[in-house]
């Protein structure tokens, strides 16, 4: 049974108590503040993003060498094991060296599918350098022997050391050589193509 104060014919029925109204008002204000803060931060992030993209596009016209250096960095980073975050490392390294970040990240992403071939080439080049040093005349046998280091049966600790040995010598030596050669070649190629493109655009 309803109390008299809760009945429709009771005085003040339907009027929300002051403390409840104040509580609701405070909650609404807090929600609006959180929403405003979120929207403000989102606008700032979006503004910074568009500003970054705009600056990278401007650099293509005004500083093509920075774009070429970014591309060189992007392809070079993929010769090194990065656990799938090569494009992120390329972006931050490009920011650190003050070259074009967009071209570095995009080049790393586009050449990502070629990583298995790059790694194989690392073993080949590293093997070509180390095989004569180690007295191995047959390069194929040397490379197969390097692969077998991580496949041999043994204790887990032995496998870890074998893996480190594999990636510590043959692979990384080949990676350093390949990254240097391909990055340099790609830098000159992109520089040539960009300068040619900009010359054609300016002449029109």
Alpha helices in the chain (DSSP H): 18-62, 64-77, 86-97, 101-110, 115-134, 139-148, 156-168, 170-203
Cβ(76)–Cβ(183) below 8 Å: yes
pLDDT at residue 69 above 90? yes
**Chain segment 110-147, per-residue pLDDT in tens:** 888 888 888 888 888 887 887 665 555 566 666 666 55
Which residue's structure tokens are 């920075």?
Answer: 66
> In the numeric block, which tokens belong to residue 203?
């002449």
Q: pLDDT above 90 covers what percent of the chain?
A: 18
- In which band, very low, low, confident or very high, does the pLDDT at 167 lie, cut at 50, 70 and 90? low
pLDDT grade, residue 13 (50/70/90)? very low
The domains of the chain are located at 16-62, 63-203
Mean pLDDT, residues 44-69 taken together:
69
């Amino acid at each position: 049974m309803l109390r008299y104060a809760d009945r429709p014919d009771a005085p003040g029925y339907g009027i929300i108590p002051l403390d409840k109204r104040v509580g609701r008002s405070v909650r609404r204000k807090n929600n609006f503040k959180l929403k405003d803060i979120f929207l403000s931060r989102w606008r700032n992030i979006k503004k910074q993003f568009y500003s970054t993209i705009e600056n990278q596009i401007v650099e293509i016209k005004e500083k093509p060498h920075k774009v070429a250096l970014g591309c060189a960095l992007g392809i070079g980073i993929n010769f090194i094991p990065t656990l799938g975050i090569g494009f992120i490392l390329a972006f931050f390294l490009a920011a650190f060296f003050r070259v074009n970040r967009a071209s570095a990240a995009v080049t790393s992403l586009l050449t990502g599918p070629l990583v298995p071939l790059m790694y194989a080439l690392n073993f080949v080049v590293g093997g070509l350098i180390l095989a004569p040093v180690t007295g191995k005349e047959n390069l194929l046998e040397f490379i197969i022997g390097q692969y077998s280091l991580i496949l041999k049966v043994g204790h887990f600790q032995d496998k870890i050391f074998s893996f480190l040995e594999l990636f510590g010598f043959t692979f990384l030596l080949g990676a350093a050589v390949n990254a240097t050669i391909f990055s340099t070649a790609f830098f000159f190629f992109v520089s040539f193509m960009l300068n040619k493109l900009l010359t054609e655009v300016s002449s029109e």
